Amino acid sequence: MSPTAGAAIPGGSWTLGAHENWLGHDALYSEPAAEPHPVMAFVAAQRGLGVGVEELFRSWGTAMSDGPMLTESTLEFPGEFRAGVEYRVTGTVESVVRKSGRTLGEFDLLTARFELGDADGEPVAVVRNVYALPRTAGGRA
């Protein structure tokens, strides 16, 4: 089933544990610190969206074996993203645009917006990802 603009992503909540904060810095070529690496907001969005990555892509009509790709990502920090704080993750499909190209054949460019909100509902981080979802056999990441 093809996704449509405005479709909600299940959503959920996630807390960056102290050990994950340390490991995140180390995995991202950064000196461990109390303040999380900014890209851990991307991790928080992915971990807190309420379903696994495989299931998310499946809900958008794409199997992992089809080679869905992240083509663009924007992180914005209207607040302070911290470890040890539970954030509510909400997500929406913002747009879906059908394209075609030599490598992927026919594919959809899907833009999804994820928001990490604090206990008061204030946005702390916004993650906007653009994925290329192959729609023809033979397309490959």
Region binding other proteins by CB under 8 A among candidate stretches 16-24, 84-92, 100-108, 110-118: 16-24
The kind and range of the H/E element at 57 are helix 53-59
> How many Å apart are CA 15 and CA 34, to the nearest integer?
14
User: If you ran DSSP here, which 8-state letter would residue 19 be given?
Assistant: H
Binders of other proteins among residues 31 to 70 (CB under 8 A) are 37-40, 42-43, 46-47, 52-54, 64, 69-70
In contact, 111 and 94? CB cutoff 8 Å: yes
Backbone angles phi, psi at 64, to 5 degrees: -55, -35
**Residue with Cβ nearer other proteins (100 or 103):** 103
**Residue with Cβ nearer other proteins (47 or 135):** 47
**Residue with Cβ nearer other proteins (46 or 95):** 46
136 binds other proteins (CB under 8 A): no
